[in-house]
Amino acid sequence: MRQIVLDTETTGLSAENGDRIIEIGCVELLGRKLTGNNKHFYLNPERDSHEDALKVHGISNEFLKDKPKFAAVADELLDYLQGAEIIIHNAPFDVSFLNKELELIGRAPIKHCVAKVTDSLMMAKELFPGKRNSLDALCDRLEVDNSGRTLHGALLDAELLADVYINLTRGQNSLMMDVGGPSQDGDSAPAIDLSGFDLPLLAANDQEVADHEKLLVDIDKASKGKTVWRAVVELVEKAA
């Protein structure tokens, strides 16, 4: 499935109170790789940005005056998003603005166009409970270079989020290892099945056990005692 990492910049914080989208940035992933097939729009919101919003994105009202209105780019945007999984950091915010823009031109909500919406902020909160999970914080934690991000920008933020998402979801799906590149006739190179190897079992040392226990305690505190292992321990103690 195509994945589109999407970000918006807006005139303020509330679509329901009349704030509008001023910028949309989209980055396409296929097979977890950037394709370069991106979309980027600046939009005339037909209103001024709030002062606080200007401090965040730095896009002046004067700059946006000659830019197209959302209605002019809606078909191009929806065609591009059609059938894809959309990845957004704090998805309810951006989706609310997209839905309001679509509503204003008599179109159906975004869910009728895309296959699904994935909120990378919720993913990060599950992986790093109790920690800061802003885009900047995740870039620092996952070693994604965000040195060029002095102000928020929809396309730059979407590109950074694509790297963050790939790092968040990186994992080994099976004990198979590709060897070499494509063969001369264009077929994929054979894979080595590692499942038949006798892999050694390495026990954790005392320091690693202590670090693991500390991590479990931190997670337990962050979830206010609702972790699965606490419930299992309580059940075992009651049964005993």
Output the six-digit token pair for 102: 């679509």
Per-residue model confidence as pLDDT tens digits over 47-100:
999 999 989 899 999 999 999 999 999 999 999 999 999 999 999 999 999 999
HEC per residue, the chain? CCEEEEEEEECCCCCCCCCCEEEEEEEEEECCEECCCCEEEECCCCCCCCHHHHHHHCCCHHHHCCCCCHHHHHHHHHHHHCCCEEEECCHHHHHHHHHHHHHHCCCCCHHHCCCEEEEHHHHHHHHCCCCCCCHHHHHHHCCCCCCCCCCCCHHHHHHHHHHHHHHHCCCCCCCEEECCCCCCCCCCCCEEEHHHCCCCCCCCCHHHHHHHHHHHHHHHHHCCCCCHHHHHHHHHHHHC
Predicted confidence at residue 240, as pLDDT, reads 55
What percentage of the chain has pLDDT greater than the value 70? Answer: 81
Predicted confidence at residue 231, as pLDDT, reads 67
Predicted confidence at residue 191, as pLDDT, reads 58
Predicted confidence at residue 217, as pLDDT, reads 80
Predicted confidence at residue 1, as pLDDT, reads 87
pLDDT of 224 over the 80 cut: no
Mean residue pLDDT across the chain: 86
Report the distance separating Cα 94 and Cα 88, nearest Å.
7
216: pLDDT confidence band, cut at 50, 70 and 90?
Answer: confident
Question: Domains (ranges, CATH) in the chain?
Answer: 3-168 (3.30.420.10), 206-239 (no CATH)
Predicted confidence at residue 208, as pLDDT, reads 85
Pairing of strands 39-42, 21-30: antiparallel
Per-residue model confidence as pLDDT tens digits over 156-194:
999 999 999 999 998 544 344 444 445 444 455 555 555
Predicted confidence at residue 210, as pLDDT, reads 85
Predicted confidence at residue 176, as pLDDT, reads 42
Per-residue model confidence as pLDDT tens digits over 132-143:
999 999 999 999
5-9, 29-33, 223-227: lowest mean pLDDT where? Answer: 223-227
Predicted confidence at residue 59, as pLDDT, reads 94
What per-residue string of b and e applies to 196-227 under the rule 16 or more CB within 10 Å gives b?
A: eeeeeeeeeeeeeeeeeeeeeeeeeeeeeeeb
Active site residues: 152
Q: Please tell me whether the overall predicted TM-score, pTM, comes out greater than 0.75 for this model.
A: no
